Structures are given as C-alpha cells and as structure tokens.
Structure 1
C-alpha cells in the first residue's frame, strides 16, 4: 500500500507501523503548521511517567504558515535538554549504547527548519532499523487523496485514537505500567534489533 503522513519528531510507534507496512511513503510537507501536534513533539518514558519533548519554533504574525516554512527557535538550548532527558530515561535500557552514536549527532548540530530536522530524525531511525523505504514529499496540498491511505491524522496528539499494540518491556514499567505508542526511540532502545519485527506484526487503528 502507498501511504501519506506527516514527518513527525521521532514519530511514535503508530507512524512507524504505518511506514514499515507500506510500499511507498509520501511525506506531507505542504499543509499548514498546527501547534501542539507531533510535528514538534515526541513522548518518551521518563522516571515519572510519560514525558513530552517539545521543539520550540519561531512564531509568526501570520495565522497560517506552511509546515515546510516553520523555523526552529534555536536560541533555546532545547537539543541539550532533550538529550539529557533521553539519557535519564534510557541509559539503563538494553540497547541505548548500541544506538547512541547514531542518535546523539542529531542533538549536536543546528537545523533551521523543523521539517528538515524531522526528516533527518526519521532517516537515522531508518538506518538503525536497516530499513530501505521508498519515500517522497508532497509538492502541493490536497485535502483528499487518491491511490494512497491517508494517515495524516496520526499527527494530531490531542485527537489520538487508542492503539492496541503488544506490550514490550519498558525501563520504568515496574513503576507506571506499560505506556503504549510512545516515540519510536522507546521501542528502539528497549527492543533493539527486534524493533522491525515488532512493527511489522502490529495492527494499526486509523485516526
């Protein structure tokens, strides 16, 4: 199947289930940027439970801006804060050290545009999974699409449909239980090479 979805910040497991089961992935880049979505937010499993990592963006006087035109507010030291949060959450996980050298450089170099940074994050995860997917980006916005399954709704954090994904072992599950559909980083650091098999075996509830 061919799918259309937003390139999110270290996308959650639902995004990756859709991607690994697709024949072709088309990334939406021509829609309007919407606040408080997975475009600039990811959730990880911290010591106190579900933790949001938010990328600050430069706000504009205009009401509507294209996703591709939104810049990151790099005056804030957000990359260092996000990396420290990942260290705190996952340094004791089984596979953090295995992937650390792949992930850490993303937090050491500045990228101007949120879309470009998200695509870099996804590319790194593809490399970690040794996943070779056929991907393209949209050139114009279409409200409805043909010949593709529209998964753009997955980016809406506030309207998220519950996903019945299989339980896997998480670092702090003995404290707070299993938290489903976190960032792909949670699955990767906990399951390592088994991540791809896990994603391929899950059933997705469309938003």
Structure 2
C-alpha cells in the first residue's frame, strides 16, 4: 500500500490513524501554509454538553501574510495547557483508560514545545505507539504534489496517497465511500455514536484494544 501524506494535527481524529492501516509510511507536510479553523491546532472531544473543540492558541496566527505551519509558535501567554487538561479530566476522568494514558500525555504537555508542529509530532508519535502502528514518519522537503521530486528518497515508496486537509473540524458527518473511519464503540455521553472525534476519545474508552476499532 502507498504511503500516506497528511498535515500535522493536534490530537487527530481517529480517522487520521484509520487511514494509515497497511501504509508503508506516514509523510507529514512540513511546508504548508498555516490555516485557521483546521485540525492543525484543534481537536474535538465529547463532553456532557456535547462535542467541544480544544484549540491551541498560536502567535500571529491571524496575520494576513502567509506563514508555514512548521514555523507557527504556540502562545503560552494564555493558560491553555491548564484549561485543556482540566477539560480532559472532566470529560474523560471516569473513562476506563484515562489514568492509563494520563501521565504520558501530561509529560508531553509539560515539555512545552515552542512550535505547534513539534507538539503535534510528539502527539502523533505517541498515538502511533498506542495503536501499534509501526511505520516511519517522514517530513516533506518542500511543498509539492506527491509525484514531485520532493518525495524522491531511498526510504520512500513509489507512490504517496495525498490526504492533506482531507479531514476538517466542520465535518462530523459519517464518512463517504473514500473515507475511512472507526467502528462504533461505547462513548461516555449520549446514546448515539458520535463520529469524527479525537483519537483521545477512542483511546480513553478502549485502551490497548483501540487499534482494533480502526476500520
């Protein structure tokens, strides 16, 4: 199966990882321009009040000129780490596996990476281990299509499936025929299964068995 090209995401949706099943490698786009209101700096979790976004504030994310996502700095002047952690504790503290993963996630937060891209990379590497997805991560050398020379590498396969900006926080609808998702699993709140949530939701509910729900 070809490798998969995705943008870096903050606590990506479970579908991000379902797309990696059987892939040779994960390519992360390191040269895209930062875009607001995407999974680059936000995730969706399930709370008693319904679906709630968690957004990482960034420095100069609203400026008009283009800036690379890999150069975007996290704004630690805002106490967002504390807010995110408290929200996760409130939403998932009673789930079967919150304590199982809490210390690992907390250790990532306290590192306080300067760049959003670096935080996302730490989280994605952690989730790959949790889901037992053993595949290498490569970073693009320049912004280009998957067939460009930017992807020529001794480590790269002949083809790369381009899934950049394939998932958006605005789309919680069930996946179309070309989109992978996860099998429904019991969630903390509500009677109907809510798709499109962060991988956190699946991990906290299913723990080491989470990978088996990637369809």
TM-score between both structures, scaled by the size of structure 2: 0.86
- Residue 133 of structure 2 is aligned with which of 131, 134, 150? 131
User: Does the 8 Å CA contact 1:8/1:155 hold for their aligned counterparts?
Assistant: no
Partner of 2:80: 78
Partner of 1:168: 185
Instruction: Return closer, same or farther for 1:49/1:21 CA change in 2, 3 Å cut-off.
Output: farther
User: Does the 8 Å CA contact 2:172/2:196 hold for their aligned counterparts?
Assistant: no
User: Does the 8 Å CA contact 1:42/1:182 hold for their aligned counterparts?
Assistant: yes
- Written as runs of structure 1 = structure 2, the 5 A alignment for 1:145-164 is 145-146=146-147, 147-158=159-170, 162-163=174-175
Shift of 1:109: 2.7
CA distance in 1, matches of 2:205, 2:32: 33
Partner of 1:181: 196
More helix per residue: 1
Residues 89-146 of structure 1 deviation map (CA, whole Å, 9 limit, x = unaligned): 111111111111211112223111000000011112223234321110001001x322
Partner of 2:151: none
CA distance in 2, matches of 1:154, 1:97: 31
Aligned length: 197
Residues 13-69 of structure 1 deviation map (CA, whole Å, 9 limit, x = unaligned): 111111233111100010100000000000001110101000000116452001111
Instruction: Return closer, same or farther for 1:160/1:31 CA change in 2, 3 Å cut-off.
Output: farther
User: Does the 8 Å CA contact 1:99/1:128 hold for their aligned counterparts?
Assistant: no
Q: Which moved more, 1:71-80 or 1:127-136?
A: 127-136
RMSD: 1.7
CA distance in 2, matches of 1:104, 1:85: 13
Q: What are the ranges of 5 or more consecutive residues in structure 2 without an aligned counterpart?
A: 148-158, 176-180
Shift of 1:162: 3.2
Partner of 2:54: 53
Matched, 1:110 2:84: no
Matched, 1:8 2:9: yes
User: Does the 8 Å CA contact 1:102/1:128 hold for their aligned counterparts?
Assistant: no
**TM superposition outliers: structure 1 runs of 4+ over 6 Å:** none
Shift of 1:155: 4.2
Partner of 1:205: none
- Written as runs of structure 1 = structure 2, the 5 A alignment for 1:14-29 is 14-29=15-30
